[in-house]
Amino acid sequence: MAGRSALRFMTPPCCLFCHDQPEFRHGLCQICWYALPFTLGSCCSHCGRVLVQPGICGQCQQRPPSFDDIAAPLSYKNPVDKMLCALKYRQQISFARTAAGVIADNALARGQKRPDLLCAVPMTRRALRRRGLNQSAFIARLVSRKLGIPVNISLLKKLRDTDRQSTLSARKRRKNLIKVFSCKQRLDGRHIVLIDDILTTGATANEVSKTLTNAGAARVDIWVCARTS
């Protein structure tokens, strides 16, 4: 028995997706890693929406977002949608490693200025009890560890429960979130990055950015694992 457990210890961990091949990067084997839907090509320089040619998308021209920059390395489609749902709703926390790895790799590849602090999208205590895990905070801690950037997952507070964003239209999403977040400390002149799993309309990212800017942040960037097309 001792021999078998030693062998298990020496065998490289298996891929979280296919459970067949050995791990290559951030929990995935080489085949599953290169099959991820990375967003290549041109993106809107404000919101990260995929565009035919480089520039600013029509929506951002009409209504510029309140954050400075966004990084969304993956498209929210198979198998990324399944992975992020498993993390969010079924507490399969090993997928947070993959999400954080993708975000950290992208931050290093972009080589932009190092932020002062990472933070996460907060949940109310009630919502956290119901779901059991704040995936945004979980991913933020792992990104912080990978990049050596400080994180404060309690920097923001959610002041009230809101309707689930995914059930609302874009306009209602914006209204649903007005003045829903507060920042617990002054951020005078600091460069803050908000970490989240998915970006859909950007309503949450926008409202959090406003809150951080009102608290004195000089720059707010958004780093998500995936964005919907």
Catalog residues that contact Zn ion under the rule CB under 5 A. Answer: 15, 17-18, 21, 29, 32, 44, 46-47, 49, 57, 60
Q: Which residue reads 């097309």 in tokens?
A: 229
Q: Return the beta strands (E) in the chain as ranges.
A: 69-71, 74-75, 117-120, 156-158, 181-183, 191-199, 219-227
**CB of 54: closest distance to Zn ion in angstroms?**
12
**Count of CB atoms situated within 10 Å of the CB of 124:** 15
Given a contact cutoff of 8 angstroms between Cβ atoms, the answer to whether 113 and 158 are in contact is no
* Residue 41 or 150 with smaller CB distance to Zn ion: 41
CA-CA distance, 209 to 108, in Å (whole number)? 22
**Count of CB atoms situated within 10 Å of the CB of 199:** 23
**CB of 126: closest distance to Zn ion in angstroms?**
33
**47 to each of 26, 63, 66, how far by Cα in Å?**
26, 11, 10
* Residue 6 or 18 with smaller CB distance to Zn ion: 18
**CB of 18: closest distance to Zn ion in angstroms?**
3
* Residue 47 or 151 with smaller CB distance to Zn ion: 47
**145 to each of 158, 161, 191, 227, how far by Cα in Å?**
25, 30, 18, 23
Largest CA distance in the chain: 66
**CB of 49: closest distance to Zn ion in angstroms?**
5
**CB of 43: closest distance to Zn ion in angstroms?**
8
| Tokens representing residue 179 in the block | 């003045």
**CB of 82: closest distance to Zn ion in angstroms?**
13
**CB of 149: closest distance to Zn ion in angstroms?**
26
* Residue 88 or 227 with smaller CB distance to Zn ion: 227
* Residue 135 or 206 with smaller CB distance to Zn ion: 206
CA-CA distance, 172 to 165, in Å (whole number)? 8
* Residue 44 or 151 with smaller CB distance to Zn ion: 44
* Residue 82 or 114 with smaller CB distance to Zn ion: 82
